[in-house]
């Protein structure tokens, strides 16, 4: 059941009874339910992201191994969390911020007997993911906003929102929408950057090495600004012009608890941040080296093993943190 993102009322035959907006999309491969106000705001900060990932596709050898691991490890960690959900078939699944469809491809390939709905804000990401074939097994594909999800209440058993919450200025509104569309016994899987790895103490050494490396670039102040941002703990942390704030583990857990969820599992994804910039710099310089291929695979294997650790310092110190949460019943909030 769909609803108008502007009037917040159920639509019939893809037409809103109040504002008369027609949501039929003709030959488009996705349904466009973006609020009218968002059209006026122009392109989002992620318009150029497909171009960045296009550059990743040109990597070879060890650099290709490392970049592909970085791209997919977040989704693989989310998929591991899903194994804790009691039911794996016959679910109504909504992914918010589906991006280029990497999680959609992993999930729908392994778990085929589910209704999978993918929603993404940025049109260029949808087009790029469609070109890669990542959305081919999705039941439905939408362009829409997390602030006004185009679905009626209690429509989904599982909501996945990965690498999205850190970019939102209205977290309460987004969390309210996630809770609204979830079934009373529904689950949520989410991931965000981890402040522990972005702040003191040991990330400073890594950032210092990155800064020294960038100081040799044409943009001479890039490395300096990178180091200053880390020391000042600014929210605007990675891409220029991007609203971006990492969360401490306690903040991330509290966000879900305060919006009517119980935390079932809370882990981190290690990625290869521990080995940057030294490993990736050498991989860029010697991509076809057998030694670099060996060390890259060893680093990935160590990251995967660390992910399984029960030690809190390991579980909560990855570059990304992941939560599996369950919606609490209204009567037991």
Which CATH number is 120's domain given?
A: 3.40.50.150
pTM higher than the cut 0.85: no
Question: Residue 287 domain-assigned?
Answer: no
Q: What is the pLDDT of residue 68?
A: 78
Question: Residue 78 domain-assigned?
Answer: yes
Higher-scoring residue by pLDDT: 85, 40: 85
**DSSP calls for 108-136:** HHH--SSEEEEEES-HHHHHHHHHHTTTT
**Domain total for the chain?**
1
Question: Residue 112 domain-assigned?
Answer: yes
Question: Residue 178 domain-assigned?
Answer: yes
Q: What is the pLDDT of residue 276?
A: 60
Each residue of 275-286: pLDDT tens digit? 666 677 788 888
Question: Residue 173 domain-assigned?
Answer: yes
C-alpha separations of 9 from 3, 172, 189 in Å: 5, 21, 27
Question: Residue 116 domain-assigned?
Answer: yes
**DSSP calls for 3-71:** B-TTT-SB-BTTB-TTT--B---TT-SSEE---HHHHHT-S-TTTTHHHHHHHHTT--HHHHHHHHHHH
Each residue of 298-321: pLDDT tens digit? 888 877 777 666 666 666 667 788
Question: Residue 218 domain-assigned?
Answer: no
Whether residue 201 has pLDDT greater than 60:
no
Question: Residue 8 domain-assigned?
Answer: no
Residue-number span of the structural domain to which 36 is assigned: 31-44+74-192+247-269+320-332
Among 85, 90, 86, 150, which Cα is nearest to 115's? 90
Q: What is the pLDDT of residue 316?
A: 67
């Amino acid at each position: 059941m769909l609803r108008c993102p502007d009037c917040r009322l159920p639509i019939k035959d893809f037409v809103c009874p109040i504002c008369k907006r027609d949501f039929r999309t003709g030959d488009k491969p996705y349904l466009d339910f973006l609020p009218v106000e968002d059209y006026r705001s122009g392109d989002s900060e992620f318009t150029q992201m497909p171009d960045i990932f296009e550059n990743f596709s040109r990597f070879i050898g060890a650099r290709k191994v490392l970049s592909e691991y970085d791209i997919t490890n977040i989704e693989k960690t989310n998929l591991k969390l899903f194994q804790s959900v009691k039911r794996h078939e016959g679910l109504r699944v909504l992914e918010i911020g589906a991006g280029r469809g990497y999680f959609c491809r992993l999930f729908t390939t392994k778990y085929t007997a589910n209704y999978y709905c993918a929603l993404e804000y940025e049109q260029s990401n949808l087009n790029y993911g469609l070109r890669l074939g990542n959305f081919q097994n999705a039941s439905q594909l939408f362009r829409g906003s997390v602030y006004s999800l185009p679905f009626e209440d209690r429509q989904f058993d599982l909501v996945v929102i990965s690498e999205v919450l850190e970019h939102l200025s209205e977290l309460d509104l987004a969390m309210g929408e996630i809770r609204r569309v979830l079934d009373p016994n529904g689950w949520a899987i989410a991931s965000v950057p981890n402040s522990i790895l972005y702040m003191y103490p040991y990330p400073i050494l890594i950032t210092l090495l990155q800064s020294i490396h960038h100081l040799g670039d044409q943009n001479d102040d890039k490395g300096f600004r990178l180091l200053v941002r880390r020391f000042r703990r600014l929210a605007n942390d990675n891409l220029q012009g991007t609203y971006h704030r990492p969360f401490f583990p306690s903040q991330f857990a509290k966000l879900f608890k305060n919006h009517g969820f119980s935390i079932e599992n809370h882990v981190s994804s290690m990625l290869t941040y521990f080995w940057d910039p030294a490993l990736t710099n050498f991989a860029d310089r010697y991509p076809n080296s057998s030694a670099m291929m060996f060390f890259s695979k060893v680093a990935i294997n160590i990251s995967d093993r660390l992910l399984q650790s029960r030690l809190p310092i390991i579980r909560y110190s990855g570059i990304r943190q992941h939560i599996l949460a369950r919606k609490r019943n209204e009567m037991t909030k």
